[in-house]
């Protein structure tokens, strides 16, 4: 190794003075200045970062840093803020009569969103995610209501249920004409034909003619002389082509025979009043408010 100043002949660059094997020399090519400054800046930055933020694990904990920052605390704070914002609306909702919720666009928006979320959690299992219903579970999107589609009808249905066993439940039920022997199979067949004819379905005309008398005598008291139903009694409109239990002759015969007696649970003990209110507003908005 020699240490005299020396320039490489080929490139003209100064060498470091290190020599191996007699004439193998190392060019002196220092790192570019900008690169070094970036490196120094990074070091300074990391020391600063290390000092103010949590950085270093210790045996039982970690260094908290000068700012004492914690992501968990930040999230907790955000959740608390969101809850405070919600509480504001919840309080407003609890003080606003059901009928007036729609007059305040901001409140309405909150109620619809809250109602939709609550619906997904509690009601979709039976009524479907889009409230489209299924056999035995009414579609809540159409404006055909068994028990009434005004806001307060809907709120009552949701709060106390239908044949739910709740003290205030909606509980009128159709008699089990076949099971209880009130009508024989022939009469049930006749009246089923008549009922199907009411909504324009193909039916045996003679049977339907006989069925009309059976209907007037046994069914009109609830479903109305014209078969258009009665929401006070939860007796569906039989003329509108919307069927809860299917429109085949077999389906209709079964409905008349068994009375069906669908059950909708009561929610007043499971959901708070504001949630029920939001649900009522949401469900009402689906069905066009009729």
Would you tell me which residues interact with ligand HEC (CB under 6 A)? 119, 122-123, 125-127, 136-138, 140, 145-147, 154, 157-158, 162, 172-175, 177, 191, 195, 215, 218-219, 221-223, 233-236, 238, 243-245, 252, 255-256, 260-265, 267, 279, 283
Least Cβ distance, residue 45 to ligand HEC (angstroms): 55
Least Cβ distance, residue 154 to ligand HEC (angstroms): 5
Judged by CB, which is closer to ligand HEC: 15, or 211?
Answer: 211
How far is Cα 229 from Cα 284, in angstroms, rounded to an integer? 20
Token look-up 């914690």 returns 70
Least Cβ distance, residue 240 to ligand HEC (angstroms): 9
Judged by CB, which is closer to ligand HEC: 48, or 246?
Answer: 246
Least Cβ distance, residue 202 to ligand HEC (angstroms): 16
Closest CA to 155 of 16, 270, 279: 279
How far is Cα 128 from Cα 142, in angstroms, rounded to an integer? 14
Structure tokens at 33: 């200045």
- The gap between the terminal CA atoms of the chain, to the nearest Å, is 100
Least Cβ distance, residue 162 to ligand HEC (angstroms): 4
Judged by CB, which is closer to ligand HEC: 64, or 176?
Answer: 176
How far is Cα 263 from Cα 193, in angstroms, rounded to an integer? 26
CA angle, residues 289, 131, 173, in degrees to nearest 5: 75
Decide: residue 228, CB within 10 A, 0-12 exposed, 13-18 middle, 19+ buried. middle
User: What residues contact 75, with CB distance under 8 A and at least 6 apart?
Assistant: none
The answer to whether 51 and 65 are in contact (CB under 8 A) is: yes
Judged by CB, which is closer to ligand HEC: 48, or 241?
Answer: 241
Judged by CB, which is closer to ligand HEC: 15, or 193?
Answer: 193
Least Cβ distance, residue 65 to ligand HEC (angstroms): 48
Judged by CB, which is closer to ligand HEC: 15, or 157?
Answer: 157
CA angle, residues 251, 203, 144, in degrees to nearest 5: 55
How far is Cα 128 from Cα 130, in angstroms, rounded to an integer? 5
Least Cβ distance, residue 118 to ligand HEC (angstroms): 7
Judged by CB, which is closer to ligand HEC: 44, or 216?
Answer: 216
């Amino acid at each position: 190794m020699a240490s005299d100043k020396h320039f490489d002949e080929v490139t003209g660059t100064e060498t470091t003075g290190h020599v191996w094997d007699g004439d193998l020399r190392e060019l002196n090519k220092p790192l570019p200045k900008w690169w070094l400054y970036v490196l120094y800046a990074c070091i300074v930055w990391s020391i600063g970062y290390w000092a103010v933020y949590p950085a270093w694990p210790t045996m039982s904990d970690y260094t908290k840093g000068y700012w004492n920052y914690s992501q968990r605390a930040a999230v907790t704070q955000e959740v608390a803020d969101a809850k405070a914002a919600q509480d504001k609306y919840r309080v407003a909702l609890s003080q606003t009569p059901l009928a007036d919720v729609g007059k305040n666009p901001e409140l309405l928006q909150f109620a619809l969103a809250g109602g939709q979320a609550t619906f997904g959690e509690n009601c979709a299992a039976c009524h479907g995610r889009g409230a489209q219903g299924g056999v035995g579970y009414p579609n809540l999107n159409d404006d055909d209501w068994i028990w009434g589609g005004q806001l307060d009808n809907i709120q009552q249905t949701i709060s106390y249920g239908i044949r739910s066993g709740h003290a205030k439940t909606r509980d009128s039920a159709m008699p089990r004409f076949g099971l209880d022997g009130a009508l024989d199979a022939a009469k049930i067949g006749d009246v089923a034909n008549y009922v199907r004819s009411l909504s324009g379905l193909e039916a045996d005309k003679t049977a339907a003619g006989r069925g009309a008398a059976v209907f007037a005598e046994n069914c009109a008291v609830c479903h109305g002389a014209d078969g258009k139903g009665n929401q006070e009694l939860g007796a569906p409109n039989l003329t509108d082509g919307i069927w809860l239990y299917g429109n085949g002759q077999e389906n209709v015969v079964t409905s008349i025979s068994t009375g069906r007696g669908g059950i909708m649970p009561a929610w007043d003990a499971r959901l708070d009043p504001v949630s029920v209110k939001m649900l009522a507003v949401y469900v009402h908005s689906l069905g066009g408010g009729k």
